[in-house]
């Protein structure tokens, strides 16, 4: 038992020493910033005055550790149009908006579907900014459900593919030779068009106040998550993707912003465990196994988030945690 404890301490210290905090820009982050700048300079296909507002999400934004070997396989960018905004159904349209929004904004109400987490968007108002005081005046417009099919095709060029809500394109530049990677040698860019919602959705109303035995996430983190609202991305439920009206009008709530905040509030050891699990899945090719095609980083992240709520901070030890998940 004593020998096992010594080995555990040695392994833990090794990972804590080698997974340094990301104090400076690395190659993954530089790529993400470059793509954000490129996206911000683009214009929506139907409005030459509006613009896209990009956000780095996924692994590049979630990890604050810098492992010896990167497992980041792609760069994830979400972007919303500055002239579109979603609000919960039945709520009054806002009179003030962040500066990133256009002077004329289409407002869509979020309507529940028959599947939890999946919604419809119904155009209901047009906001116009008053130049005198910067406040927005709302005017009702003919109500109609919004389809994303035409808009998504407008974003897709030759050589790009669509997977779920993401438009995937291969980035031609390979990482420099000094960057050691577990993921593929060629990066891909996952661009996810979305509609911004500044409010925390009613569909997740119980999350901020539910009981957390060990105090994670703390109240400050919860407040930060809720204040960021959510996004709505263009993908239908798997039972509705084979055609029909819902396949082009059903959207999904996205909490990518919340995940970035939550994962950045983890202790270093928790981020390292998450990284180790991702490496295990990648090296063992579990996503390619028969019967396990749906297994992905999403499932690992979900298990980790639950474990962080259900286990005290003192429980997190690299060897113990590896045994637990193994």
DSSP for 87-112, written as a single string = EETTPPPPS---TTS-SEEEEEEEEE
Residue 183 is predicted with a pLDDT of 55
DSSP reduced 3-state for 119: strand
Residue 95 is predicted with a pLDDT of 95
Quote the mean pLDDT of the chain. 81
With residues binned 3-state (H G I as helix, E B as strand, rest as coil), the percentages for the chain, rounded to 5, are 35, 25, 40
Structure confidence at residue 22 as a pLDDT band (50, 70, 90): low
Of 244, 283, 236, whose CA–CA distance to 117 is shortest?
A: 236
* Interval 155-161 mean pLDDT: 61
* Interval 168-190 mean pLDDT: 61
- Scanning the structure block, which residue is given the tokens 């990167």? 70
Residue 196 is predicted with a pLDDT of 97
Q: Which of 46-55, 117-126, 186-195 is predicted with the least confidence, judged by mean pLDDT?
A: 46-55
Torsion of the alpha carbons at 301, 59, 56 and 202, rounded to the nearest 10: 0
In degrees rounded to 5, what are phi and psi of residue 291?
85, 0
DSSP state of 4: H
Structure confidence at residue 144 as a pLDDT band (50, 70, 90): very high
* Interval 175-197 mean pLDDT: 70
Residue 45, pLDDT above cutoff 70: no
Residue 290 is predicted with a pLDDT of 47
What would the pLDDT profile of 107-138 be if each residue is shown by its tens digit? 999 999 999 999 999 999 999 999 889 899 99
Alpha carbon separation from 130 to 47, 48, 102, 127, 134 (Å, rounded) = 20, 20, 12, 10, 5
Residue 139 is predicted with a pLDDT of 96
Q: Which of 66-75, 212-221, 244-253 is predicted with the least confidence, judged by mean pLDDT?
A: 66-75
* Interval 72-76 mean pLDDT: 76
Q: What is the rounded distance in angstroms from the CA atom of residue 49 to the CA atom of residue 143?
A: 24
Residue 161 is predicted with a pLDDT of 78
What would the pLDDT profile of 287-310 be if each residue is shown by its tens digit? 555 454 557 788 889 999 999 999
Q: What is the rounded distance in angstroms from the CA atom of residue 252 to the CA atom of residue 235?
A: 6
Residue 319, pLDDT above cutoff 60: no
What would the pLDDT profile of 211-228 be if each residue is shown by its tens digit? 999 999 999 999 999 999
Q: What is the rounded distance in angstroms from the CA atom of residue 85 to the CA atom of residue 68?
A: 41
Number of H helices, E strands in the chain: 10, 13
């Amino acid at each position: 038992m004593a020998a096992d404890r010594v080995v555990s301490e040695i392994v833990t210290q090794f990972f804590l020493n080698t997974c340094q905090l990301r104090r400076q820009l690395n190659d993954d982050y530089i790529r993400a910033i470059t793509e954000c700048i490129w996206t911000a300079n683009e214009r929506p296909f139907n409005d030459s005055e509006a613009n896209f507002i990009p956000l780095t999400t996924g692994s590049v934004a979630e990890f604050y550790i810098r492992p010896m070997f990167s497992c980041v396989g792609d760069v994830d960018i979400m972007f919303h149009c500055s002239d579109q905004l979603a609000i919960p159904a039945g709520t009054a349209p806002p009179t003030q908006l962040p500066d990133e929004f256009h002077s004329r904004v289409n407002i869509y109400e979020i309507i529940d579907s028959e599947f939890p987490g999946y919604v419809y968007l119904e155009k209901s108002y047009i906001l116009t900014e008053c130049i005198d005081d910067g406040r927005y005046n709302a005017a009702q417009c003919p109500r109609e459900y919004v389809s994303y099919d035409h808009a998504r095709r407008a974003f897709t060029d030759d050589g790009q593919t669509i997977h779920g809500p993401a438009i995937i394109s291969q980035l031609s530049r390979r990482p420099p030779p000094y960057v050691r990677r577990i993921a593929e040698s060629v990066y891909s860019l996952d661009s996810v068009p979305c509609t911004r919602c500044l409010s925390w959705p009613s569909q997740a109303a119980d999350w901020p106040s539910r009981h957390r035995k060990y105090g994670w996430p703390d109240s400050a983190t919860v407040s930060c998550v809720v204040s960021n609202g959510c996004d709505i991305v263009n993908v239908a439920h798997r039972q509705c993707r084979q055609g029909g009206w819902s396949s082009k009008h059903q959207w999904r709530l996205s909490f990518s912003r919340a995940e970035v905040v939550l994962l950045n509030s983890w202790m270093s050891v928790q981020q390292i465990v998450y990284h180790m699990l991702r490496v295990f899945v990648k090296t063992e090719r579990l996503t390619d196994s028969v019967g396990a095609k749906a297994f992905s980083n999403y499932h690992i992240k979900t298990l980790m988030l639950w474990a962080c709520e259900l286990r005290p901070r003192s429980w997190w030890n690299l060897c113990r945690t590896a045994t637990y998940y193994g």
